[in-house]
């Protein structure tokens, strides 16, 4: 290892001394022809094998070794930091719209800042700051939203005028700007050297690094990683970390048990120039012009500038090694529009002489967020890849979270939005990935507005009613590949074009959804909810009940035909899933969970259910079409169709029964609606779906039935203060923190996962509290709409963020849901949040820098239930998913 370190250091010095290092390319897979011998032979076994010596791999190695894991081998097929990392623009920017990404970037910045001191490797770290420019009002709004969340995190950041921008960077042409955001602590680094510094530190901590070693595949036995096959022999290991960047997809597919890592490479260009006549200062801030799709940073007296074109060129769709990264061609015609934008932004650069147009592939993911976590099928197989061109910004933080995940079993932050398990095999098609990344790459610069839907890779999973609903004006969104209706556009109505409909203000569908909500309240609506994940758990004996009792917090030993809302908690009492479970028989259960739980929940259960061939877990998602009949007249429609009394006396709330609807038999009817409104969900074997839908619509006519979509559902559930998993609830939220103690049976007579943590919380109190806010002085027509992630202020002090929001057509007000913390005024330490603390505050919600007064509530409005038909049988229990 010492020899390794020495070589690394000399490598760095050589690179630093040679300004043309970018051209010196030595990374090749074929190692036999190169003269340099491998310094050390591979070990026969290790605890962890990391594949990939780029920023992510070295960061994982660095953090694992810091956390005390020493038996680590890092393998790199070429040279360390020689892939995308080498060609990275080296911008560390915290200006990120997603909070977890912002946190990762912030951590990376802090890490890199001290890295040179820690390792002695020059990282080129310079705190230049960054200026994000807004050419439009909407862009400025989105910058203000980011500024709000940076500020509450204590990251200096200000919204500045164009004039102030030009004072910070004299070359900026400001004539078309409406404003800008300045983040003074953003930095520049020499990305390859950061990676080498991390490797050096890891190596000092005992990590073995082997270059020119390719992993051919990972072996998995009984669902656990057992070892790694390389071109230099086998290494037995317990953990494997796939940090192979754009090759991660291929590597994941190379083993017998494929690990689906949905990412795809695109060509990505940036320009290097010779220095200006008067060389640019190395402290000049980086300029990001998202409306022009470009960024410009200072580089050795000249500039380094690139961007995200509208027409990206995906590559390596057919697999690796058709073309070496380093042989990619410059494509000036492709770069032309970006060059135009660069010169428009800084006309003073015209005379600057070109040094090189670098073409370096970057990997992008289907939802613009990176991929980390453990494989749902192979335990011990971890992944960190798909950085969407922000590898340097995220690398440090992402490596830390992954290391924590491996060492502690969970990361220190909620990383669900980055979790590999948010994807399944369905996002793994090469065609899907190719098409999707062509949409994703331009989106990097596009305005991020609420309720944006991807346009590519659509119509993959659909309900059998898709065509029927589409013909009736359905507008669609997609979740986990499944098409779901947002709302129905009435025939006489015209909505704006997709691009024009982007807004931070009141959307054009406002009245349409309002009408659907009204129908849910007064008559009856049908919503196709087939996308929900549906599992059946059954056993020959009591195994099913026993296992579920252990894995779920509520008491599932209920009479047959009852439905139970329950959390699936982790050891800390946090929600891994939030579901409804119907007891179909003594020994079988039907479990409904959110759509995107399909992979996560399956893996969670598989890993924890006893290995017993008499206990069967089956995914029946595809077998049933779900129709949600919401509204006071649902009962009438259903009883007419089934010739069965459906009133509360015969069919109480939270009840499940198989019955016939129309000609179709075996329809599972449950008296829940996921909204707090009266009604039923029908789980229909798919071949009956069309028949039942037609019968319901025909019969429903006289009761004023109409189709509705998820936007109506969302408005209904939020005004009822229903939390949903994936947005409001996550692995860091316990039932105690969101007022769902009643869904937990602490004394159900047996131990269950998370029980201890919950007992402790019950005793000591909670440190955050799920709270409902009703915006007071907010003008729905004129003001910016809340979305989620808005800072919450209590008595002028930041206490937390919103997690979701909707307009309540009943209250005629906006409702935001979010968590309130109690940070100690001096230390910032989190204190217990009591009911009094919530109730005794004056609240404000910050929407893009503008604060609106809000009323806080811990319980839903009871007077909303104007059409209450049954006394106590409405679902008081908050339970919702979207």
Partner 1 sequence: FYLTPPQVNSILKANEYSFKVPEFDGKNISSVLGFDSNQLPANAPIEDRRSAATCLQTRGMLLGVFDGHAGCACAQAVSERLFYYIAVSLLPHETLLEIENAVESGRALLPILQWHKHPNDYFSKEASKLYFNSLRTYWQELIDLNSGETTDVREALINAFKRLDNDISLEAQVGDPNSFLNYLVLRVAFSGATACVAHVDGVDLHIANTGDSRAMLGVQEEDGSWSAVNLSYDHNAQNEHEVERVKMEHPKSEEKSLVKQDRLLGLLMPFRAFGDVKFKWSIELQKRVIESGPDQMNDNEYTKFIPPNYHTPPYLTAEPEVIHHKLRPQDKFLVLATDGLWETMHRQDVARIVGEYLTGVHHEQPIAVGGYKVTLGQMHGLLTERRARISSVFEDQNAATHLIRHAVGNNEFGTVDHERLSKMLSLPEELARMYRDDITIIVVQFNSHVI
Binding site for partner 1 (CB under 8 A): 271, 273, 329-333, 335-336, 339-340, 342-343, 349-354, 356-357
User: Shortest Cβ distance from residue 720 to partner 1 (Å)?
Assistant: 55
Collapse the DSSP code of 332 into the 3-class scheme (helix H, G, I; strand E, B; otherwise coil) and give the result: helix
User: Shortest Cβ distance from residue 274 to partner 1 (Å)?
Assistant: 9
Name the token pair of 520. 């849910």
Nearer to partner 1, 328 or 738 (CB): 328
What is the C-alpha R_g of the chain?
28
| Closest CA relative to residue 178, chosen from 132, 130, 140, 131 | 140
Nearer to partner 1, 354 or 750 (CB): 354
Nearer to partner 1, 331 or 511 (CB): 331
Beta carbons within 8 Å of 310's beta carbon, 6+ residues apart: 293, 337, 442
Beta carbons within 8 Å of 881's beta carbon, 6+ residues apart: 532, 578, 593, 594, 595, 674, 724, 725, 726
Burial class (CB in 10 A: 0-12, 13-18, 19+), 514: middle
Neighbouring CB atoms inside 10 A of 804's CB total 22
Nearer to partner 1, 150 or 346 (CB): 346
Instruction: Give the C-alpha separation, 177 to 165, whole Å.
Output: 10
User: Shortest Cβ distance from residue 329 to partner 1 (Å)?
Assistant: 6
Name the token pair of 820. 């309130």
User: Shortest Cβ distance from residue 334 to partner 1 (Å)?
Assistant: 9
Nearer to partner 1, 333 or 499 (CB): 333
Nearer to partner 1, 318 or 333 (CB): 333
**Roughly how many angstroms between the first and final C-alpha of the chain, as a whole number?**
51
Nearer to partner 1, 350 or 494 (CB): 350
Nearer to partner 1, 19 or 749 (CB): 19
User: Shortest Cβ distance from residue 276 to partner 1 (Å)?
Assistant: 11
Region for 561 from its dihedrals, namely left if φ exceeds 0, alpha if ψ lies in -120 to 50, beta otherwise? left
Distance set, CA 210 to CA 8, 40, 49, 366 (Å): 11, 8, 11, 32
The 3 state secondary structure assigned to 727-738 is CCECCCCCHHHH
User: Shortest Cβ distance from residue 213 to partner 1 (Å)?
Assistant: 34
Distance set, CA 189 to CA 21, 193, 273 (Å): 15, 8, 18
| Closest CA relative to residue 501, chosen from 456, 450, 457, 459 | 450
Give yes or no for a contact between 643 and 714, defined as CB atoms under 8 angstroms apart. no
User: Shortest Cβ distance from residue 349 to partner 1 (Å)?
Assistant: 5
User: Shortest Cβ distance from residue 330 to partner 1 (Å)?
Assistant: 7
Nearer to partner 1, 14 or 332 (CB): 332
The 3 state secondary structure assigned to 6-65 is HHHHHHHHHHHHCCCHHHCCCCCCCCCCCCCCCCCCCCCEEEEEEECCCHHHHHHHHHHH
182 φ/ψ angles, rounded to the nearest 5 degrees: -115, 125
| Alpha carbon 157 to its chain's center | 24
Nearer to partner 1, 278 or 649 (CB): 278
User: Shortest Cβ distance from residue 322 to partner 1 (Å)?
Assistant: 17
User: Shortest Cβ distance from residue 776 to partner 1 (Å)?
Assistant: 52
What is the DSSP annotation of 66-79? HTT---EEEE-SSS
User: Shortest Cβ distance from residue 271 to partner 1 (Å)?
Assistant: 8
Nearer to partner 1, 141 or 338 (CB): 338
Nearer to partner 1, 351 or 500 (CB): 351
User: Shortest Cβ distance from residue 361 to partner 1 (Å)?
Assistant: 17
User: Shortest Cβ distance from residue 451 to partner 1 (Å)?
Assistant: 35
Nearer to partner 1, 327 or 353 (CB): 353
Nearer to partner 1, 338 or 641 (CB): 338
Nearer to partner 1, 334 or 562 (CB): 334
Nearer to partner 1, 324 or 658 (CB): 324
Collapse the DSSP code of 179 into the 3-class scheme (helix H, G, I; strand E, B; otherwise coil) and give the result: strand
User: Shortest Cβ distance from residue 342 to partner 1 (Å)?
Assistant: 7
Give yes or no for a contact between 292 and 307, defined as CB atoms under 8 angstroms apart. yes
Give yes or no for a contact between 261 and 420, defined as CB atoms under 8 angstroms apart. yes
| CA atoms 251, 252, 253, 257: torsion sign | positive
User: Shortest Cβ distance from residue 436 to partner 1 (Å)?
Assistant: 27
Instruction: Give the C-alpha separation, 682 to 624, whole Å.
Output: 9
Collapse the DSSP code of 298 into the 3-class scheme (helix H, G, I; strand E, B; otherwise coil) and give the result: strand
User: Shortest Cβ distance from residue 83 to partner 1 (Å)?
Assistant: 23
| Closest CA relative to residue 867, chosen from 637, 522, 526, 525 | 522
User: Shortest Cβ distance from residue 348 to partner 1 (Å)?
Assistant: 10
| CA atoms 358, 362, 367, 369: torsion sign | negative
Region for 451 from its dihedrals, namely left if φ exceeds 0, alpha if ψ lies in -120 to 50, beta otherwise? left
Beta carbons within 8 Å of 767's beta carbon, 6+ residues apart: 737, 821, 822, 830, 831, 832, 833
| Closest CA relative to residue 165, chosen from 155, 153, 176 | 176
Instruction: Give the C-alpha separation, 482 to 710, whole Å.
Output: 13
Nearer to partner 1, 352 or 874 (CB): 352
DSSP 655: B
Nearer to partner 1, 352 or 383 (CB): 352
User: Shortest Cβ distance from residue 134 to partner 1 (Å)?
Assistant: 24
DSSP 361: -
Which contiguous run of DSSP H or E holds residue 763? helix 755-764
Instruction: Give the C-alpha separation, 22 to 190, whole Å.
Output: 11
DSSP 594: -
């Amino acid at each position: 290892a010492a020899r390794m370190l020495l070589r690394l250091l000399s490598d760095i010095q050589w690179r630093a001394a040679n300004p043309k290092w970018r051209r010196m390319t030595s990374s090749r897979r074929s190692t036999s022809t190169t003269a340099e011998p491998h310094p050390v032979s591979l070990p026969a076994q290790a605890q962890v094998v990391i594949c990939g010596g780029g920023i992510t791999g070295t960061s994982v190695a660095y953090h694992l070794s810091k956390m005390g894991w020493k038996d680590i081998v890092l393998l790199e097929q070429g040279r360390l930091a020689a892939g995308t990392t080498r060609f990275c623009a080296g911008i560390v920017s915290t200006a990120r719209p997603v909070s977890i990404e912002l946190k990762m970037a912030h951590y990376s910045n802090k890490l890199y800042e001290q890295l040179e001191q820690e390792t002695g490797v020059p990282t080129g770290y310079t705190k230049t700051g960054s200026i994000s420019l807004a050419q439009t009002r909407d862009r400025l709004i989105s910058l203000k939203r980011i500024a709000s969340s940076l500020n509450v995190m204590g990251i200096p950041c200000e919204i500045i005028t164009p004039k102030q921008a030009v004072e910070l960077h004299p070359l900026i042409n400001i004539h078309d700007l409406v404003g800008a955001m300045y983040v003074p602590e953003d930095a520049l680094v020499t990305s390859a050297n950061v990676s080498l510094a991390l490797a050096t530190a890891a190596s000092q901590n005992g990590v073995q690094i082997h270059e020119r070693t390719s992993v051919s595949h990972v072996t998995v036995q009984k669902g656990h990683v057992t070892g790694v096959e390389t071109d230099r022999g086998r290494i037995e290991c317990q953990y494997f970390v796939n940090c192979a960047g754009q090759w991660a997809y291929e590597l994941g597919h190379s083993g017998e048990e494929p690990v689906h890592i949905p990412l795809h490479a695109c060509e990505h260009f940036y320009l290097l120039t010779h220095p200006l006549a008067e060389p640019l200062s190395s402290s000049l801030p980086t300029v990001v012009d998202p409306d022009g799709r470009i960024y410009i940073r200072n580089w050795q007296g000249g500039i380094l500038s690139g961007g995200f074109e509208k027409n990206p060129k995906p590559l390596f769709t057919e697999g690796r090694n058709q073309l070496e990264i380093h042989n990619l061609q410059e494509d000036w015609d492709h770069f032309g529009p970006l060059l135009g934008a660069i010169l428009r932004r800084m006309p003073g650069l015209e005379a600057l002489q070109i040094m090189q147009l670098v073409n370096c592939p970057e990997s992008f993911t289907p939802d613009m967020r990176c991929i980390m976590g453990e494989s749902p099928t192979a335990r011990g197989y971890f992944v960190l890849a798909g950085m969407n061109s922000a590898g340097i910004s995220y690398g440090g933080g992402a490596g830390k979270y992954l290391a924590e995940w491996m060492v502690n079993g969970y990361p220190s932050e909620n990383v669900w939005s980055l979790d590999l398990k948010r994807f399944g095999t369905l996002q793994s098609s090469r065609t899907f990935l190719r098409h999707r990344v062509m949409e994703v790459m331009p989106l990097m610069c596009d305005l991020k507005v609420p309720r944006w839907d991807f346009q590519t890779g659509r119509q993959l999973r659909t309900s059998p009613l898709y065509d029927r609903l589409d013909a009736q004006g359905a507008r669609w969104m997609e979740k986990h590949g499944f098409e779901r209706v947002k709302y129905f556009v009435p025939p006489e109505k015209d909505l704006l074009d997709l691009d024009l409909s982007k807004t931070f203000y009141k959307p054009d569908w406002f009245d349409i959804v309002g009408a659907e909500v009204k129908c849910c309240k007064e008559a009856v609506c049908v919503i196709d909810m087939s996308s929900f994940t549906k599992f059946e758990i059954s056993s020959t004996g009591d195994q099913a009940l026993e296992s579920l009792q252990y894995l779920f917090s509520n008491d599932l030993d209920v009479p047959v035909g009852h439905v139970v809302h329950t959390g699936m908690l982790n050891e800390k009492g946090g929600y891994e899933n939030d579901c409804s479970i119907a007891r179909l028989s003594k020994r079988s259960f039907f479990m409904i969970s959110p759509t995107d739980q399909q992979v996560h929940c399956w893996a969670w259960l598989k890993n924890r259910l006893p290995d017993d061939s008499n206990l069967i877990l089956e995914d029946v998602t595809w077998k049933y079409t779900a129709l949600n009949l919401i509204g006071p007249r649902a009962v009438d429609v259903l009883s007419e169709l089934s010739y069965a009394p459906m009133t509360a006396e015969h069919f109480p709330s939270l009840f499940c029964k198989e019955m016939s609807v129309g000609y179709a038999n075996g329809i599972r009817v449950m008296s829940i609606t996921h909204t707090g409104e009266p009604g039923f969900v029908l789980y229909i074997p798919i071949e009956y779906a069309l028949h039942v839908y037609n019968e319901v619509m025909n019969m429903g006519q006289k009761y004023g039935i109409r189709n509705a979509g998820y936007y109506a559902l969302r408005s209904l559930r939020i005004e009822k203060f229903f939390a949903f998993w994936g947005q409001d609830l996550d692995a860091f939220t316990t039932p105690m923190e969101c007022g769902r103690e009643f869904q937990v049976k602490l004394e159900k007579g047996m131990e269950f996962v998370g029980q201890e943590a919950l007992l402790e919380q019950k005793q000591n109190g909670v440190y955050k509290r799920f709270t409902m806010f009703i915006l007071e002085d907010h003008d729905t027509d004129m003001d910016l709409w809340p979305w989620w992630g808005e800072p919450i202020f209590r008595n002028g002090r930041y206490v937390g963020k919103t997690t979701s929001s909707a307009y309540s057509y009943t209250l005629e007000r906006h409702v935001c849901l979010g968590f309130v913390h109690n940070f100690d005024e001096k230390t910032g330490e989190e204190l217990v949040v009591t009911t009094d603390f919530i109730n005794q505050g004056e609240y404000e919600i910050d929407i893009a820098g503008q604060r609106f007064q809000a009323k806080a509530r811990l319980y839903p409005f009871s007077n909303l239930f104007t059409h209450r038909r049954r006394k106590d049988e409405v679902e008081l229990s908050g339970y919702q998913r979207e």
